[in-house]
Amino acid sequence: MAFTVIIPARYGSTRLPGKPLLDILGQPMVQRVWAQAQLSSAARVVIATDDERILKVAQSFGAEVCMTRPEHPSGTDRLQQVALELGLADDHIVVNVQGDEPLIPPQVIDQVAANLAQHASAGIATLCEKINDFTELMSPNAVKVVRDQSGIALYFSRAPIPYPRDAFSKNAMAMPVAGAWFRHIGIYAYRTHFLHQYVSWSPAPQEVLECLEQLRALHHGVAVHVAEACHTVPAGIDTLEDLTAVCHLLQQRDGEPQRSDGNTSV
């Protein structure tokens, strides 16, 4: 099974402008993500960007880069342009690895690609992990997913679903003992022909309300396969606090010197 990894990397970020170029112990974030993707079984790893600064940095460390239009409304639209320009076959599998996850395990990249290949009826494959923390369950930043017995998504939401009515009626401030909740992990595998379909659809009402792109697929009846991740997936980077945490984790894991001060590498 051959598949391609595409890493969308936008320079513009509301909270962290120039995020793909933030320094992480001497390397830009986008290089860290690319290096992890290179450890997967992907036949090809491509960085998709709309910014010349990211292009130059990515080329400097040997990455394949595709320039995309700046007006794309979503990362999925950016992927579709890359798949089209690369001439990928309709049944080719494309894995979207977020450009702000420098610790993404290569095992989960392989897992999500294999899951899509094994489920012909699914248009998308993605991953999840169990929620064991009350704060995470209630946080709108942690996207929850409910699946059927075959692992097909029933719904994604920022709300705590399924809602534990009886448990919360007794104590609405504690993690219920009984039940299982899952946080969606934002890595996706698609077939090229789905990407071409997706960009032709208008945003779904639920998608607009929840600000979750995957709800557009559910709205159009596309099956989304969701499996528990085979490996713990560390959080991505959205804030300077996240950046510091990742640097500390890398220091502890690899003994790398502390060099990051949050500045970009260009």
Domain boundaries, the chain: 3-254
Q: What is the pLDDT of residue 98?
A: 92
- Going from the first residue of the chain to its last (266 residues), give the mean pLDDT of each consecutive group of 10, the final group possibly shorter: 93 80 94 97 96 95 94 86 96 95 96 97 97 93 96 97 91 84 96 95 95 95 97 87 90 64 50
Cα distance between residue 255 and residue 93, in whole Å: 36
Residue 24 bridge partners (DSSP): 27
Q: How many Cβ atoms sit within 10 Å of the Cβ of residue 242?
A: 16
Helix H or strand E segment including 251 = helix 240-254
Q: What is the pLDDT of residue 179?
A: 73
Q: What is the pLDDT of residue 74?
A: 81
Any idea which fold 3-254 has? Spore Coat Polysaccharide Biosynthesis Protein SpsA; Chain A (3.90.550)
Per the structure block, which two tokens stand in for 55?
Answer: 């292009």
Per the structure block, which two tokens stand in for 148?
Answer: 């059927």
Q: Biggest alpha carbon distance in the chain?
A: 58
Closest by CA to 226, choosing from 153, 159, 143, is 153
Residues 6+ apart with CB under 8 A from 7: 30, 33, 34, 37, 45, 46, 47, 48, 97, 98, 99
Per the structure block, which two tokens stand in for 90?
Answer: 């309709």
Q: What is the pLDDT of residue 257?
A: 54
Q: What is the pLDDT of residue 177?
A: 79
Cα distance between residue 217 and residue 124, in whole Å: 8
Q: What is the pLDDT of residue 266?
A: 43
Q: What is the pLDDT of residue 265?
A: 47
Cα distance between residue 27 and residue 197, in whole Å: 36
- Full-model pTM: 0.91
